[in-house]
Chains A and B, each alone.
Chain A
Amino acid sequence: MPDTPPLLEVRDLCVRYGRRRRAVEALRNVSFTVGAGERVGVVGESGSGKSTLALALLRALGAAGSVTGGAMRFRGADISAMPGGALRTLRSSGIGLVQQEPMAALNPAMTIGRQLREVPGLARATAEIVERRIQAMLTEVRLDDPARILAAYPHMLSGGQLQRVCLAMVLLGEPSLLILDEPTTALDSRTSAAIVALIRDMADRHGIALLLISHDLDLIGALTQQALVMRAGEVVDRGTAQEILAGGSHPYTAGLVRSMEAGSSAPPPAGRPHTDGAPLVRFSGIAKSYPLSGRWGSGAGRVAALHGLDLDIAPGETLALVGESGSGKSTLGRILAGLDRADDGAVVFDGKEIGATPVDRRPRDLRLDIQMVFQDPDGSLNPSLGIGRQLSRALASRGAAGDANATADLLESVHLPAAFASRYPRELSGGQKQRVAIARAFATRPRIVVADEPVSALDASLRRDVLDLLRRLQRAHGTALLLISHDLKLVRWFADRVAVLREGVIVECGPVARVLGSPEHAYTRALVDAVVAGGPAGIQFPARAPIF
């Protein structure tokens, strides 16, 4: 029996939000320990109480939440009973927190340098030592050109750079426990793989214990030894990371693991071969740049999103467009839909040039032929209008009956009850909203649907259902699909062909199995390797049956 208490001990923790009758139990009897240098993962979907746990450990629940039972001990000291001074020490140099949105964690009106110098642990050192430590830390989190980073404001840096800054900021306090709350969710796959490697490396080097909160089982597998599975505020399963990834001992864990695999086990119905004949869409020489706003709004030139891009999409096929964030993927989809205009190049749809015509001036039939499914389920439905009204408008646009029966059929086609017609978007979950958005896109019987990251805002367990639905409707109507995604696993499972976009041009394009199986371009290889390196061996998408 060791004499020293564990680094962090949580026993029967209960947290409640709200008061009296409206109270919600966010955490119920949560118990676990984290030893010095240990790495523990907390898995669960949104709403399972994971983030509440992180906030409770830092006593940062705010006025709405309160700890109603149990104990949290850090090095044996009761966190709930800490006086102000000890609490400040705990937050500055005991437990460090890295959050999901680095942009939200940093002050937009202060330079990175000023924010780093404000780290409490540095307050007593001389200016010279502070500068030296900050420089050393920035090098350690692998930010090149520290001088530029220090002088920059947050909006001038990329998401990956910001997350490195946040990590540096927390590590400057020399914490013995690092809480990571979805640290890579806001990043694209290659950046997140680099961040994961960095976190692992820093934890190794400084002997820091990790508490990793994530819905991403791959991440849990890559970074932790022990894992807890949470659901609706309770720990339903626990074990080593390998046990959890193998399905754990609770049915819920098994379900979570299965849904991560995203694919249905049955091979998808065979699509028609479309590679011969005229393409439905042909992009040629597409260029698009945006004005880059400098400090005073202008004069900083333009940033090129796309330059000279060529791409064909065949009728009825699923073409995935992959690339890092900022590579211009979404821009291309918006250009096709007429929501954005290319500076140069041609978009030929069904033999006619349409790229020069913005959506407002396109003939109605053309507009209806090209539909979109957007990334953000909240923004894609009008919060002030009923679901039924939004769907019937889409149905009626093609001259179809937009009455209650037709709307009910449409809802049924995306597995939603007819009664949803009278609901408002705020009464729907994220997955349900995305189903409605898919229904709306297919209601006009389009010939191509642009799906821009259609499931990246959804919980892992919902992704598979939504994707299955998308595929079923696509096959049923013979619709072509331009899938924009940064998730290679999803692409491998879902698409016929894949086009890899880098810095505004297609570097590689071809059948999914060929491009992702034996990539020819160095960049594609780097993308594929990033996924393999970031994830554990345990989880694989099922191999896709060949279509032809």
Chain B
Amino acid sequence: MTRVRRILAALRHRPVAAIGFALVLFWFAAALLAPVLAPFDPVTPLTPFAKPGAQHGGALLLLGTDTLGRDILSRLLFGARSVLVYAIGATVLAYAVGVTAGLAAGYYRGRTDTVLSFAANVVLSFPVLVLYILILTTIGASGLNILLAVTVASAPGIMRVVRGLTLELRARDFVAAAKLRGDGAAYIMLVEILPNLRGPLVVDACLRFGYVIITIGVLGFLGLGLPPPAPDWGSMIKEARQVALAFPHMTLAPAVAISSLVLGFNLLADGLRDPNGRG
């Protein structure tokens, strides 16, 4: 309650963050209300190659239709659902893995750290795109596998951030005090150290979230996204690529959707990066 009010108050003083927050909020609302807002079914063909503003059976095709005649606005709205669900799922999973590994590496140091850091460095040494193609062509493109691929690719980066912060925090006196009162390693990592990572991790999560959205778009574009006919922003761009010059609206609409959502998260991250160090 008071926390919500404090965040809203903070946003008022930071217009950049407020714009980001508004963009993010817009797409979340679009995803939630897609069944209500969408004028058509996202997978039913209507009139192929309709320009924006055309009519279909008395209803307006605000953003036109794609090559198969499906309403682009409806596909965008439903596409927001899948992109947000998978981006949130992948980010949460990547954080669960990365934070756990980072805490362990930073707190235990020694051999644990050597092994985990080496594994992370191996993953980070692959060009990201090659890594995705490798993983998804091996285990096949599906929603769950996208989650796994994104987790494998982002967890090492998260781990390194968490590891660095943990190394610094474990040397603080309050950690020594916790040891002296008999607290174990798990308690110290999760209760004493983790809450202090909140500030930097919230900022990192916003940036990473945007990055994951781009990744999901790219995977769709490469044909490694959600299998058709699911409305997927990256796939929409891919399908319209060959007619992009004649019908720019088909590629422009999903491209703007991806950019605005990513921009929203990036601005939010900038705004949350409080100059006073308070997350």
Contacts and interface: CB of A to CB of B under 8 A. Distances in A.
Contacts of A444: 180-181
A374 B196 contact: no
Interface in B190-206: 191-192, 195-196, 198
Contact of A382 (B179, B181, B182, B196): B196
B181 A380 contact: no
A429 to B, nearest CB: 18
A98 interface: no
Contact of B172 (A367, A371, A379, A441): A379
Q: How many A residues touch the partner, as a band?
A: 20 to 34
Contacts of A393: 178, 181, 183
A372 B185 contact: no
A346 B173 CA distance: 24
B196 A376 contact: no
Given A384-B196, A385-B191, A367 B182 contact: yes
Given A360-B185, A376-B173, A383 B196 contact: yes
A291 to B, nearest CB: 15
Given A384-B196, A384-B198, A379 B173 contact: yes
Interface string A49-85: 0000000000000000000000000000000000000
A274 interface: no
Interface in B31-55: none
B128 interface: no
Contacts of A441: 177
B126 interface: no
What's the dominant secondary structure at chain A's contact region? helix
A129 B193 CA distance: 55
B118 interface: no
Contacts of A390: 174
Nearest to A446: B180
B176 interface: yes
Given A382-B192, A385-B195, A394 B176 contact: no
Contacts of B185: 360
A493 B17 CA distance: 56
A495 B182 CA distance: 29
Given A360-B185, A384-B198, A370 B173 contact: no
B196 A370 contact: no
Contacts of B177: 372, 374, 380, 394, 437, 440-441
Contacts of B195: 382, 384-385
Interface string B151-180: 000000000000000000000111011111
B181 A337 contact: no
B111 to A, nearest CB: 16
Q: Find the residue from B179, B183, B191, B196 having the highest chain A CB count within 10 A.
A: B179
A380 B192 CA distance: 12
B179 A359 contact: yes
Given A384-B195, A384-B198, A385-B195, A379 B174 contact: yes
Given A382-B192, A382-B196, A339 B176 contact: yes
A367 B179 contact: yes
Given A384-B195, A385-B191, A385-B195, A367 B174 contact: no
Best-surrounded residue of A383, A384, A437 (most CB of chain B within 10 A): A384
A371 B173 contact: no
A364 interface: yes
A394 to B, nearest CB: 5
Which of B174, B181, B185 has the most A CB atoms < 10 Å from its CB?
A: B181
A382 B183 contact: no
Nearest to B195: A384
Contacts of B172: 379
B183 A337 contact: no
B173 A380 contact: yes
A112 interface: no
A397 interface: yes
B174 A337 contact: no
A224 B160 CA distance: 53
A342 interface: no
B98 to A, nearest CB: 20
Interface string A363-404: 010011011101010011111110000100110010000000
B181 A394 contact: yes
Given A360-B185, A385-B191, A385-B195, A380 B174 contact: yes
Nearest to A370: B180
B167 to A, nearest CB: 15
Interface of A: 337-339, 359-360, 364, 367-368, 370-372, 374, 376, 379-385, 390, 393-394, 397, 437, 440-441, 443-444
Interface of B: 172-174, 176-183, 185, 191-192, 195-196, 198
Given A382-B195, A394-B177, 7 more contacts: A364-B182, A367-B180, A368-B180, A382-B196, A383-B196, A397-B182, A443-B181
11 contacts: A338-B179, A367-B180, A367-B182, A368-B182, A371-B181, A372-B176, A372-B180, A380-B173, A380-B174, A385-B195, A440-B177
Per CB-CB distance, the 5 closest pairs between chain A and chain B, nearest first, are A384-B195, A374-B173, A380-B173, A364-B182, A397-B181
